[in-house]
A and B are shown apart, each in its own frame.
Chain A
Amino acid sequence: MVTDVDLSVRIGSLELAYPTLMGSGCYGSGEEFAPFIDLSKIGGVVLKSVTRAPRLGNPTPRLVQTPAGMLNAIGLQNPGIDWYLEHDVAKFASRPCAVIGSVAGFSVDDYAYVAERLAARDEIHALELNISCPNVAAEGETFACDPRLTARVVKTVRATTDKTLIVKLSPNVTDIAGIAREAESAGADALAVINTVRGMAIDVNAWKPRLGNVTGGLSGPAIRPVAVLAVYEVARAVRIPIVGQGGIETASDALEFLLAGASAISIGTGNFTDPRIPVRIVEELHAYLAARGVRSLREIVGKANVGFANPYQYEGDEG
């Protein structure tokens, strides 16, 4: 039994006191949740994605509850980078945790323009590149679904800032490991795995889709096994840190991601179940590691012992 467990992690040049980030688009800018949780007890907030021009967002309904999760199709509603820099960013200085800006766009130029301006602000400690939003017409997710586009956008943004660059990947691809490799080669400091899984729900009485946008992104415990596998596959393909996310609600959930190869985790939909989940996870991770004599969270990253269950060892094996 040890009592002194180090839960801090390093993502690129970003130091996090705790391994818990709050997922982009789920947590506003953090202040929305401040009445319910001590923000100094979380690693950081990934802000809602911002684009070059203001966006009204998708028509309603934008949310549907589904078994063990929810579909959303917000559509990147945001004030645009000009307004954001002028009115919103200064307020982030008071957050007692890391503040990670999130950049979305519709062209390589968009991403570079927004990323450079956002990263230039002291209030923003790192950037997440949202190249995987499933809820905007055509271009949104295209970047994360095409290895060459991923490489181009990451390389271009990389040239605009030295701050830690996290690239958020889409699960809606055939080969996430291949795309992860492209992002790493292009200069990403870390990867966020995964964004939401595309989905749809239909109202059988009205005979129409439940979402105004028709399709949406599925999140919550429903996608957790999908996300754990994606982290596992990406971890074997790259050497940069991974921020694992997808349906994490407990320390046990978080541990699955860490053991699969994530260095940190992100909580999104779980905050809607109970805003105290991030602090509870940190306390439980601490207890879990202390009980096993593990002094640092970093020691368990990627330590899932797959043994003979590893499908890759069985490749070509008729048995």
Chain B
Amino acid sequence: MRALQSPASVHDVLVLDRTELAPGVVLLGFHAPQLAAVTQPGQFVMAVPPGGERAAVALGIYEAQGDRASVMFFVCGPRTREFAGLREGDRFSVSGPLGNGFTLDGAKNVAIVAGGVGIASVLLPAQALVRSHVRTRLFYGARTAELLVDRERFEREGCEVICATDDGSFGHRGFITQALAATEDKPDLILACGPSPMLRATAFVAGELGVAAQLSLEETFACGVGGCWGCVVPLDRNSAQAPGFPGQDEGGSEVVYARICKEGPVFWAHELRW
């Protein structure tokens, strides 16, 4: 993970475009040149719902190019519903970019595993890898073909895309991690973002393959900047990402709670103790 965080600030942004990629999956593009310029793959923003008295919500940064950045999200509650209601010309504010993203240095053959709207955090690393002429495959799973949103985009960017759906409506039938486990072309690095069961399965497969994996975790955030210690995950206390103080309770545990928003959201799979 990157040791230094990018310079973050608050940005008042203008909505440039809003696309419903699938039922309930919304892509929101906005004018944010400063944010786009400093965003690293795997970082996120805390976006303030335009309607008022609601806490900000963490959204992975999907695209960051030129004057435009975008976020993609699944509408699953009142806050995401507010964002889904935004239209071109509307304004909202975001704090970011936040968190420590993916570390791509040295990899030659990367497998990116994305589940559902977890795809929202893996376009930037995919682009960075392809730009560096790294063999990049996207293992992309969703419930149905319809929810494999923006699949062609990754092909256009130069990724090989392998898909799986729960109902077999596109690609392999079953879990995308099964397709990863079955690959004969062993990657030297795995990156993953998606639902927790998929991340755990990815960690397991990575262990079986003997390949290092970086997982982008999701959890309810309150502050998003490391101030409240609400979004923690148990981590090996010897990890370079372990927060800098002893985490032991009475028994002298080897585990420390790290903040997903601050030390993460990307962690090495083998260092998680979840």
Q: Residues on A close to B: CB < 8 A?
A: 25-28, 32-33, 35-36, 48, 54-57, 60-65, 68, 70, 72, 74, 77, 79-80, 83, 87, 220-221, 249, 269, 271-276
Stretch of B19-27, B187-195, B199-207, B217-225 at the chain-chain interface:
B217-225
Closest CB in chain A relative to B250 CB, distance in Å: 8
Closest CB in chain B relative to A24 CB, distance in Å: 10
Interface contact B95-A36, CB-CB below 8 Å:
yes
Q: How many residues of B contact A (CB 8 A)?
A: 39
Q: Is B66 part of the binding interface, using a Cβ–Cβ cutoff of 8 Å?
A: no
Q: Is B138 part of the binding interface, using a Cβ–Cβ cutoff of 8 Å?
A: no
Q: Is B231 part of the binding interface, using a Cβ–Cβ cutoff of 8 Å?
A: yes
Closest CB in chain A relative to B5 CB, distance in Å: 9
Query: How long is the Cα–Cα vector from A25 to B223 in the complex, in angstroms?
Result: 11
Interface contact A32-B55, CB-CB below 8 Å:
no
Closest CB in chain B relative to A81 CB, distance in Å: 12
Interface contact B53-A221, CB-CB below 8 Å:
yes
Partner of B48, one of A32, A54, A87, A274: A274
Partner of B55, one of A54, A79, A272: A272
Interface contact A60-B246, CB-CB below 8 Å:
no
For A70, list chain B residues within 8 Å (CB): 55, 222
Stretch of B7-15, B103-111, B154-162, B168-176 at the chain-chain interface:
B7-15
Closest CB in chain B relative to A85 CB, distance in Å: 12
Interface contact A272-B223, CB-CB below 8 Å:
yes
Q: A83-B246, A273-B48 are contacts. A62–B232 as well, Cβ < 8 Å?
A: yes
Q: Residues on B close to A: CB < 8 A?
A: 7-10, 48, 53-56, 77, 79, 93, 95, 219-233, 244-249, 253, 255-257, 262
Q: What's the A-B contact tally at a CB cutoff of 8 Å? A: 116
For A60, list chain B residues within 8 Å (CB): 219, 232-233
Partner of A26, one of B221, B227, B245: B227
Contact residues of B: prevailing secondary structure: loop
Closest CB in chain B relative to A62 CB, distance in Å: 5
Interface contact A26-B229, CB-CB below 8 Å:
no
Closest CB in chain A relative to B218 CB, distance in Å: 12
For A79, list chain B residues within 8 Å (CB): 245-246
The chain B residue with its CB closest to the CB of A57 is B257
Query: How long is the Cα–Cα vector from A79 to B244 in the complex, in angstroms?
Result: 9
For A62, list chain B residues within 8 Å (CB): 229-232
Query: How long is the Cα–Cα vector from A31 to B9 in the complex, in angstroms?
Result: 13
Interface contact B231-A87, CB-CB below 8 Å:
no
